[in-house]
Amino acid sequence: MSSPFLKDKNIIDVVKYKWLWVALSAVLIVPGVLAMIYSMATYETHSPMKLGIDFTGGTLVQYGFEKQLKNSDIAIVRESLNKAGIETAVIQVEKANKLLEEQSLKDKEAEPVIENVQKPNELSDNDKATKTEVKPESKQKAETNEGVKTPDVVKPEAKGGIKSIVSIRTRFLDSANTNNEIKKMNTALKQSIGEFVPLQVTSIGPTLGKELFQNAIVALLLAFAAIVIYLTVRFKFDYAMFALVALFHDALFVCGVFAILGLVFNTEIDSLFITAILTVIGFSVHDTIVVFDRVRENSRFLVKKMSFNDIVNASVNQTLARSINTSVTSLVTLMALYFFGGVTTRDFVLAMTLGIAIGTYSSIFNASTLLAMWRSRSAQPKKVAA
């Protein structure tokens, strides 16, 4: 029987519809779980989501263009790369910053100094030592990228007119075919966009990518363990257990959505995705702690007047407005970043948006109702065998 307190306040009885929340969670999670299982069976890496070059290894190449490019030019670049056999590349167009222009001016000023050095037989021993240490920046870059050649390189003097930078991230290019692949990209870009200046070639090997992936998993497990320990000390073990269930629910939902996006739109996850998951876990557990703290406080004063289910209902509704207001303000900011921010952070913002939305739902309708179900079952007298 409901408490008069509930009738007077006319609050939502969340515990009454507990099976509705369980069914809704199943509808949200099961498709993502199936997508992850399918991904593990089809991807070469056997991962539940499509991994980016941060975890599988890959190559980042940057080109400078003397004309102003727009985001609409990404489609042209992608089409030309696909024809060259370089598929699923991540392409970004940026404006050249002042730092690049200042660096190009330094390159211009540095070159005459090296060319006008006196002959070796006219230098003292100290001067000879100084001369051997002075190297043009272009030469230093060449030594750093030993074994990697960049065909069609424009001289550094052309950097002063760069207005746009195109960044291309693609699969890892090993030493056996790096030159050929980069040459294909150079040719494709020159034909579709025009003359360019190769600026940077950075590669992450498969071994390093695997290590980053393992470190990311360890970070997630440590976060879960720390949360369980804190909640066990701060509250009780059953509080910590159902808070962990809610966190796992949130992370599983976000991962499931990205597994579906990976299968449909070739969306890849990178290190920013792990950052988003860790942030979502922190946000969700904060919301859950607020609800649990109110449950604990109300239990001290209302335990003799109300059932535990009614206490949970009262506590949830007392914190409902706060939880929703906090989440809405965060979601408004994230939506602005998603639609008006850069392409690089769009997947990160999407993961944050999904995580905060599902985290608010789980802290209100999952963690609290599961705790109420557990306490109600534990309070039932055990049947004694005849």
DSSP per position, 321-355: HHHHHHHHHHHHHHHHHHHHS-STTHHHHHHHHHH
Q: Look up the CATH number of domain 4-51+208-379.
A: 1.20.1640.10
Query: Rounded to whole angstroms, how far apart are CA atoms 253 and 242?
Result: 16
How is residue 368 annotated by DSSP? H
Q: What share of the chain is helix, strand, coil (3-state, %, to 5)?
A: 70, 10, 25
Helices (H) and strands (E) in the chain — how many of each? 14, 4
Whether residue 108 contacts residue 185, with contact meaning beta carbons closer than 8 Å, is answered with: no
Show pLDDT as tens, one digit a residue, over the chain (386 residues): 444 544 445 467 888 899 999 999 999 999 999 999 999 999 888 889 998 877 877 888 888 888 888 777 888 888 888 888 777 777 878 776 644 554 454 454 444 443 344 444 444 444 443 343 334 444 444 433 433 333 334 444 444 578 888 888 887 765 555 556 777 778 888 888 888 888 887 777 767 777 887 888 898 889 888 888 888 888 888 898 999 999 999 999 999 999 999 999 888 898 899 999 999 998 989 899 999 999 999 988 887 788 888 899 999 999 998 899 999 999 999 999 999 887 778 999 999 999 999 999 999 999 999 999 998 887 666 554 44
CB atoms within 10 A of CB 76: 14
**Total-model pTM:** 0.70
pLDDT confidence of residue 219: 87
pLDDT confidence of residue 97: 61
Query: Rounded to whole angstroms, how far apart are CA atoms 61 and 56?
Result: 17
- Sorted by where each begins, the domain ranges of the chain are 4-51+208-379, 58-204
Whether residue 136 contacts residue 112, with contact meaning beta carbons closer than 8 Å, is answered with: no
pLDDT confidence of residue 65: 86
pLDDT confidence of residue 140: 41
Q: Which residues pair with 58 in a beta bridge?
A: 171, 204
